[in-house]
Amino acid sequence: MEMRDLYQQVILDHNRSPRNFREIEDADHVAHGDNPLCGDKIKVYLKLNGDVIEDVSFHGSGCAISQSSASLMTIAVMGKSIAEAEELFHKFHGMVTADADQSARRKELGKLAAFAGVREFPARVKCANLAWHTLHAALCEHAEPVSTE
């Protein structure tokens, strides 16, 4: 099977049956993400234990890229520290936007590398990044409150 097909399978699978697609009723932090260009909406729930992400989930609707990316994001950061999650966010962001060496990053990112291909489609980069930006917003809220105005 081609690497590309394998990646497509990962995206289709997570779109069809998204993991951690639920609310966390006693979440410490909730953040909303909106990608009006595509119509993707994401809500990320976080439960922290000290600086460890004890539980993370999402709700949302939108295209296959945005929903599967959110599903894979929750798996990737579950049980990680805030610092580790932020590092993954930067690596993921770099993979879908930068021209840096891809092979090294793909290894570090595991299944998240399924989204490396969106670099060729600038409109889809926002779809892939939405869940990560929303997670980042939720984590920043933890550090210091985000001003709404």
CB-CB contact of 109 with 92 (8 Å): yes
Interactions with Zn ion, residue window 72-91 (CB under 5 A): none
**52 makes contact with Zn ion (CB under 5 A):** no
**67 makes contact with Zn ion (CB under 5 A):** no
Q: Which two tokens stand for residue 34?
A: 């909106």
Residues listed for the chain = 149
| Residue from 7, 21, 38, 125 binding Zn ion (CB under 5 A) | 38
Ramachandran region of residue 24, left (φ > 0), alpha (ψ -120 to 50) or beta? Answer: beta
CB-CB contact of 115 with 128 (8 Å): yes
Binding residue count for Zn ion, defined by CB under 5 A: 5
**64 makes contact with Zn ion (CB under 5 A):** no
**125 makes contact with Zn ion (CB under 5 A):** no
**Chain contacts with Zn ion (rule: CB under 5 A):** 38, 40, 63, 66, 127
